[in-house]
Structure 1
Amino acid sequence: MGEEFRLSLLEELIERPSPSGFEQPVQEVVRRECARYADTVSTDVHGNVIAALNPAGQPRLMLTAHCDELGLLVRYIDEQGFLYFSPIGGFDPATLPGERVLLHTASGPVPGVIGVKPIHLQEAEERGKAPPLKQLWIDIGASSKKEAEELAPPGTVVTRATRLQPLRGSLVTSRGLDDKAGLYAVLETLRRVAAQRQQLRAALYVVSAVQEEIGSRGVRTSAYAVQPEVAIAVDVAPTADHPQTSKQEIGDIRLGAGPIVTIGAHVNPRVYELLAQAAREAGLSYQLDPTPGRTATDVDLLQVSREGVATGLVSIPCRYLHTGSEIVSLEDIEETVALLTRFTLALSPGVNLIP
């Protein structure tokens, strides 16, 4: 892995809570980073951060990753001081009981635990089943409704408390690597392209998009504003290198084997070939993801913005998506940055994007 990898930036992106609709803390970091390297930085009414480098160039390229993560929202507090919540994004309820959480308040984070009826008290028919979300609550140690409301009133946003932790080799685990890993990759690409600005002919727009986890809402509006001719969405994707996965269903996708490049209906064939060519010329490893239809990423809406966009999808392999312990390889992130940087610098005016 290259010495340029800025682990402190990835850690800071994860430390800043950003459930869909509440992305402001992480976008502060994004604006700070973009302001160091871009010509212009703006934030739209949805909260998308849009940075432009060489805006007069051709063609107009948009690199985007979503900055939002899964979260919870406090909706009700009972008389004993237990907090009930609704999910923000697609949670698997089986992953929540017993999880430690942070409630993000104006006075700072309040720690809590997601409570559930203990197995000792469960009826026979309840055992072995994931409890529905409505049977879970958050315990912050309050002794009354009044005390709990003073600490974390309804409307308080909640995230899992897990943070970035190294594993073996280049592997790290954390909540929110979906898609803080991709967000790091596009920010680092901006930095490296800016350092080689004399080679840049395209107009580069880097977008930190909001609300992907609840329907790709941010990329819809930001793409409409940027009007890119070419766009690459950067996200994470599940792997088939652990038990109870199927290579027959998702392909032989592994951690440490490089970024995943998608080919299929939502990807422009010429953009796919340009990405593959950039990887080959740089001697970079990459994995192929044949996806015939919907990708369940921002690229699905990005492709059909305005009169249409020539899109590509680059993903970082990730184990255990939408849990509090997602795993990625820093080497895969580094190679994603290298691929995006080479692709961006290779774009030239008049590039043929017609299939």
Structure 2
Amino acid sequence: MCIKDVLFELSRLDGPAGFENKITDYIIELTLDFVDEAKKDEMGNLILFKKGNKNGEKILLEAHVDEIGLVISKRIEGNFMAFSTDGGVDPKILPGQRVRFTNRKGERIKGVVGYLSPHFRRNVEKLRMDDLFIDFGIQDIEIEVGDVGVIDVEPVELNGDLVSGKAFDNRASCAILIDLLRRLKNVVLNLDLYALFAVREEFGSSGAVGAVYGIRPNCAIVFDVTHADVKDPTLSDVRLGKGPVFSHGTVVDGELLREFEEIANSSGIPFQREAVPGRSGTDTDLIQLVRDGVKTMLISIPLRYMHTPTEVLSLKDLNLTVRLMTEFLMRKG
């Protein structure tokens, strides 16, 4: 499968924070022939291991698999349900959306987000979550408090190499790691390579820490997304299609950063820079603190409209990142 097909299949799967099993199971299915070991830990993190030909250093590649979602909080009456958010969902994107929830039997149940029609709203106030509800259409629907769901949308190809869909944050990074492992299938490295597909990033990055503690890597390269094409004078200028983004800041190891910039420059791989003066809002923030500290590098994929069902990215950036990581690992190993 090409990287676009992998991304689209990952986008179609539902895996809000804390409910990522469908995603990690699918990744195991795709990568089992590429690695020496695949296991899940007690948190649900998926850890893939590719053994090197000698006792070299341990390099960790990490991407979170979860997405933002919705959770049923109570039955209002009949087929109407109140709901809350699982992760950073903006209420403004929800009115009129189709949604799908997974019940205790594993069945997908579809509904719509209801909101009082504008014909009956006398004044326009700030939208609140308690203004919204899920309409499942019939009263005896098998949905319970605690069932989780996502916005019901299909990934699509746009013009050029741009694509749009839900959960590209952070299934784009997952697709990169899967494609990288595929390319390295018949390559024996002089290092031990770990790929961590971490859970619960959208709810405080609680998933990755325990897995990294157990792996005890010499360094960790974290993959996530970052805001692109945003007109904000306080943000770095990041564009779609201009290559992966290297974070510059306190959470990133300076030596690793310089190494990646040298590899990119010598290989003719375009890249972008982003200032991250404090916390990055990614798993990087906690991974660097594990045990006696982990050297970390944060590589981000440019993304428009983050945390919406119509996130947009350039496939060119994904392929450039795979090429960059292939160069990095081949030089290391």
TM range (shorter): over 0.9
The 2-side partners of 1:79 and 1:258 are apart by 50
2:56: which partner in 1?
58
The 2-side partners of 1:311 and 1:195 are apart by 27
The 2-side partners of 1:112 and 1:81 are apart by 10
Give the conservation status (yes or no) of the 8 Å contact 2:16–2:66: yes
The 1-side partners of 2:217 and 2:34 are apart by 20
1:292 matched to 2:284: no
Shift of 1:6: 3.0
Alignment partner of 1:98: what SS? coil
Q: How does 1:314-353 map to 2 (within 5 A)?
A: 314-347=299-332
1:16 matched to 2:13: yes
CA RMSD of aligned residues (A): 1.4
Q: How does 1:1-355 map to 2 (within 5 A)?
A: 5-54=2-51, 57-105=55-103, 106=105, 108-124=107-123, 127=124, 129-142=125-138, 144=139, 147-148=140-141, 150=142, 152-197=143-188, 200-239=189-228, 241=229, 245-246=231-232, 248-347=233-332
Shift of 1:294: 0.7
**CA pair 326-188 structure 1, distance change in 2 beyond 3 A:** same
Alignment partner of 2:42: what SS? coil
The 2-side partners of 1:336 and 1:250 are apart by 22
The 2-side partners of 1:172 and 1:252 are apart by 21
The 1-side partners of 2:91 and 2:215 are apart by 37
**CA pair 107-293 structure 1, distance change in 2 beyond 3 A:** closer
Shift of 1:250: 1.4
Shift of 1:7: 2.3
Q: Which runs of 5+ in 1 are unaligned?
A: 349-355
Q: Given the two structures, how large is their TM-score scaled by the length of structure 2?
A: 0.96
Give the conservation status (yes or no) of the 8 Å contact 2:3–2:176: no
1:352: which partner in 2?
none
Give the conservation status (yes or no) of the 8 Å contact 2:16–2:67: yes
The 1-side partners of 2:27 and 2:296 are apart by 23
Q: Which runs of 5+ in 2 are unaligned?
A: none
Q: Given the two structures, how large is their TM-score scaled by the length of structure 1?
A: 0.90
> C-alpha offsets along residues 296-326 of structure 1, whole Å, 9 cap, x if unaligned?
0110101111111110000000000001110
Shift of 1:99: 1.0
Give the conservation status (yes or no) of the 8 Å contact 1:93–1:130: no
* AA matched with 1:206: A
Shift of 1:107: 5.0
Give the conservation status (yes or no) of the 8 Å contact 1:53–1:194: no
Q: How many residues align?
A: 331
With 28-37 and 58-67 compared, the bigger mean Cα shift is at: 28-37
The 2-side partners of 1:5 and 1:342 are apart by 19
Shift of 1:259: 0.5
Shift of 1:269: 0.5
* AA matched with 1:250: L
Give the conservation status (yes or no) of the 8 Å contact 1:187–1:206: no
The 2-side partners of 1:27 and 1:315 are apart by 21
* AA matched with 1:272: L
Alignment partner of 1:194: what SS? coil
* AA matched with 1:203: D
Shift of 1:340: 1.5
The 2-side partners of 1:107 and 1:253 are apart by 40
The 2-side partners of 1:107 and 1:29 are apart by 16
**CA pair 122-57 structure 1, distance change in 2 beyond 3 A:** farther
**CA pair 107-60 structure 1, distance change in 2 beyond 3 A:** closer
> C-alpha offsets along residues 248-290 of structure 1, whole Å, 9 cap, x if unaligned?
3111100010110111110000110111122112211100112
The 2-side partners of 1:303 and 1:318 are apart by 24
